[in-house]
Amino acid sequence: MDEVNSLSWEAFIQRFGNVIEHGPIVAGAIWTQRPFSDARELHRAVCGFLDTLPSTGKESILRCHPDLAGALARADRLTTESKKEQRGAGLLNLTKEEAAIITELNISYKSKFQFPFVICARENKKEAIIAGLKARINNTVDVELQHGIGEVKKIAWYRILDLVPTASDQMIAKY
C-alpha cells in the first residue's frame, strides 16, 4: 500500500475516482485518511464517507449509475468499469425477451423510486439480476435507498481490488 499512500490527491482521485461511479468527490474526501493499511481499510473509508452523506446525496450516488442493460450500454457509453461488470454478468448479451423484461422493470423501478436499480453485477448473473429487480421493486423507498447504497459498497470493493496491487492476494475474493 506504500505506493497508494504516497499519491498526491490529484493522482489518488485519478486512480480511485470511479470506485464510486462518477464519484471523484468520494476519493477526494477519503484522501486525508491515508495511510491505509490495506485495501479493506481504504474500502471502509469509502463506505464511511457514503454514510455521512445526506439522503439526497445517497440518492444522487445511485442516480449517477447507469441503468443495467440500458441506453448507455446500448450506445457503448458506459464507464470502463461498468462495461466490464455488465459484460461479466451477461447483461451486454441478452436475448430480445430478456432485454424487454429488464427495460420494463427498470422503468417501473425508476418511476417508483426516482433513482435507478443498482446491483453488484460481479456477484450476480443476469437471471439473479432480473429476480432481484422483481423482488426489490416491492420495497419501500427508504429500504431500497439503503439496499442500493449497500450494493454500491460491494461494487466499490471489487473495483478497489482491481486497483490496489496485491490486494486480491491478501483478501477473500468475496465481499
- Catalytic residue set: 65
Nearer to a copy of itself, 27 or 133 (CB): 27
Nearer to a copy of itself, 45 or 161 (CB): 45
Q: Verify binding: residue 26, a copy of itself, rule CB under 8 A.
A: yes
Judged by CB under 8 A, the residue of 4, 23, 117, 152 near a copy of itself is 23
| 172, amino acid identity | I
> Using CB under 8 A, which of the segments 52-60, 83-91, 93-101, 133-141 binds a copy of itself?
52-60
Judged by CB under 8 A, the residue of 7, 31, 44, 90 near a copy of itself is 31
Measured between its terminal Cα atoms, the distance across the chain in Å is: 20
Whether the Cβ atoms of residue 161 and residue 39 lie closer than 8 Å to each other: yes
Q: Verify binding: residue 56, a copy of itself, rule CB under 8 A.
A: yes
DSSP class per residue in 60-107: HHHHTSPPTTSHHHHTT-S-HHHHHHHHHTTTTS--HHHHHHHHHHHH
The DSSP secondary-structure symbol of 124 reads: -
Q: Verify binding: residue 149, a copy of itself, rule CB under 8 A.
A: no
Q: Verify binding: residue 61, a copy of itself, rule CB under 8 A.
A: yes
Q: Verify binding: residue 171, a copy of itself, rule CB under 8 A.
A: no
Q: Verify binding: residue 9, a copy of itself, rule CB under 8 A.
A: yes
Region of 69 (left: φ > 0; alpha: ψ -120 to 50; beta: rest) is left
Q: Verify binding: residue 108, a copy of itself, rule CB under 8 A.
A: no
| 137, amino acid identity | I
Residue 122 main-chain phi, psi, to 5 deg:
-75, -15
Q: Verify binding: residue 15, a copy of itself, rule CB under 8 A.
A: no
Whether the Cβ atoms of residue 36 and residue 5 lie closer than 8 Å to each other: yes
Q: Give the interface with a copy of itself as residue ranges (CB under 8 A).
A: 9-10, 13, 22-32, 49, 52-54, 56-57, 59-61, 63-64, 71, 114-115
